[in-house]
């Protein structure tokens, strides 16, 4: 009987599951949509049981497919949205909706916690990242302050994918890549930070045990296995945070590898063997799904979303036509500069007040000049992260692009030219679920996850830089940066 494996990804807008064999061939994929709850402006929640319901449907479908092809699901692993908080009581009951990574209610708690811990510089030394509203720690502090009756009942807190593992096995565990996004974890020491917990009076017993990403959480509970059509010896493997799993899925696993994820938001992720964060806190510093490896990550909030927004409001053409027209416009967009800060920006500015700007429009310009300016502005935002990583001494060689924006030849060309680096497009671009599948195989077979990811990875196409363009973009990037600096105070007022 053929051994098969499942990779799941619990995202914000949906849950995805893939069924793979030991060679990494995707045999079947299934997905379910999720909706978000917004009780107040800037709040974002979901019912964790809606994740579980979606996972159950997907696993039931995948187990049926595995039976049809004469295979057996040997292991399941899950990736998930980072930072989001799930709290359960001592009977295992979910105490409230999960507060999501994109929720912005905890600004005061971030300020208070940073002050108690001796200021941001000290926080970076303790946990490797500044305390931001998206992270898990301030969500716990918010519940303690605003919902004390719920806080008193908390027996365990979990991240989304850990909740799914708990529902499958009954065991409460997490792993390093997700733990590192809580700001209660020392990224340099790779363990819960006792000083942070002590100073903020958070009892360590409510935190899950940390295991390796390819460690075994447990076996699927008999009643769950029966309902899903799984064998009772099906293993559940630790899994990982979404970005770390996405990087694992395209073999971004060691220093020199780089993942550019060009989706609604944009990320630049680069593994490192170093143990020190960016001292200015401009890029995140997290643990990878690969043993004893960490990564730096820059995040921009409105990457392909900038183009989606403009298309929805002002364009009727499809994306193929848009790409064709933009390719005809010269570098520099005939004088227009676009700042892609529609909803604030994270890297490098950490400025929630920043907003989108078109600058330099004249009566000469066409709408396609404006659209090209959007493409260039997004690419400059990605370049900002590359420049910070270079400044930190991070090795940048094998650049692999993923996400919806990677389908655009224009963006691939711009990023190659701006960075001066070859851009690789992977054969398989399944995101975090593919990395989770690698961890499922690794956990069941005890093979090194980095080794498996390299064996499964293949390049579909390359885009090489044109160095004459690189020099032109360098000058334009300086203009882009100066524009933000000149408007920074105006954004606040």
Longest alpha-carbon distance in the chain: 70
Q: 121-140 burial string, b = 16+ CB within 10 Å, else e?
A: eebbebbbbbbbbbbbbbbb
- Which residues are within 8 A (CB) of 374 and not within 5 positions of it... i.e. 6 or more apart? 306, 307, 310, 338, 340
Q: Yes or no: say if 345 and 385 are a contact pair by the CB < 8 Å rule.
A: no
Segment holding 217, helix H or strand E: strand 216-219
Residue in 48, 45, 57, 65 with CA at minimum distance from that of residue 5? 65
Alpha-helical regions (H) of 21-175: 48-68, 107-116, 120-127, 136-146, 148-151, 160-169
Active site residue 242: yes
Annotated catalytic residue: which of 103, 162, 178, 242? 242
- Which residues are within 8 A (CB) of 424 and not within 5 positions of it... i.e. 6 or more apart? 398, 399, 400, 401, 459, 461, 462
Which residue reads 């100066």 in tokens? 482
Please state, in angstroms and rounded to a whole number, the distance separating the CA atoms of residues 302 and 339.
10
The residues carrying an active-site annotation are: 242
């Amino acid at each position: 009987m053929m051994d098969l494996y499942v990779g799941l990804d619990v995202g914000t807008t949906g849950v995805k599951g893939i069924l793979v064999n030991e060679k990494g061939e995707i045999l079947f994929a299934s997905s379910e949509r999720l909706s978000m709850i917004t009780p107040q402006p800037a709040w974002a929640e979901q019912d964790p049981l809606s994740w579980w319901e979606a996972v159950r449907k997907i696993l039931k479908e995948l187990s049926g497919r595995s039976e049809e092809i004469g295979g057996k699901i040997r292991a399941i692993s899950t990736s998930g949205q980072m930072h989001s908080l799930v709290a359960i009581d001592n009977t295992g009951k979910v105490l409230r909706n999960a507060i999501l990574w994109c929720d912005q209610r905890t600004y005061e708690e971030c300020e208070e916690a940073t002050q108690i811990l001796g200021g941001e510089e000290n926080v970076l030394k303790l946990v490797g990242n500044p305390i931001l509203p998206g992270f898990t720690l301030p969500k716990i502090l918010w519940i303690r302050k605003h919902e004390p009756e719920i806080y008193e009942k908390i027996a365990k807190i979990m991240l989304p994918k850990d909740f799914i593992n708990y529902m499958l096995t009954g065991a409460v565990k997490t792993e390093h890549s997700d733990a590192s996004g809580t700001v209660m974890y020392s990224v340099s020491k790779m363990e819960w930070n006792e000083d942070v917990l002590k100073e903020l009076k958070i009892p360590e017993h409510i935190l899950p045990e940390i295991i390796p990403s390819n460690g075994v959480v447990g076996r699927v509970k008999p009643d769950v296995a029966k309902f899903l059509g799984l064998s009772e010896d099906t293993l559940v493997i630790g899994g990982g945070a979404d970005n770390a799993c996405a990087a694992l899925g395209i073999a971004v696993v060691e220093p020199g590898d780089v993942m550019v994820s060009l989706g609604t938001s944009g990320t630049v992720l680069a593994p490192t063997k170093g143990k020190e964060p960016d001292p200015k806190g401009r890029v995140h510093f997290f643990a990878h799904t690969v043993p004893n490896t960490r990564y730096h990550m820059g995040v921009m909030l409105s990457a392909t979303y900038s183009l989606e927004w403009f298309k929805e409001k002002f364009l009727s053409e499809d994306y193929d036509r848009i790409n064709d027209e933009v390719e005809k416009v010269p570098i520099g967009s005939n004088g227009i500069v676009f700042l892609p800060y529609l909803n604030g920006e994270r890297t490098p500015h950490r400025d929630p007040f920043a907003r989108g700007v078109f600058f330099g429009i004249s009566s000469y310009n066409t709408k396609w000049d404006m659209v090209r300016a959007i493409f260039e502005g997004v690419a400059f935002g990605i370049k900002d992260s590359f420049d910070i990583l270079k400044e930190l001494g991070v090795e940048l060689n094998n650049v692999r692009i993923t996400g919806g924006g990677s389908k655009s030849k224009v963006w691939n060309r711009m990023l190659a030219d701006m960075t001066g680096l070859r851009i690789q497009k992977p054969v398989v671009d399944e995101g975090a679920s593919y990395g989770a599948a690698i961890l499922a195989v690794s956990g069941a077979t005890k093979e090194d996850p980095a080794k498996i990811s390299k064996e499964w990875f293949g390049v579909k196409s390359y885009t090489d830089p044109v160095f004459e363009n690189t020099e032109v973009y360098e000058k334009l990037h300086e203009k882009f940066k100066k524009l933000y600096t000149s408007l920074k105070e105006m954004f606040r007022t």
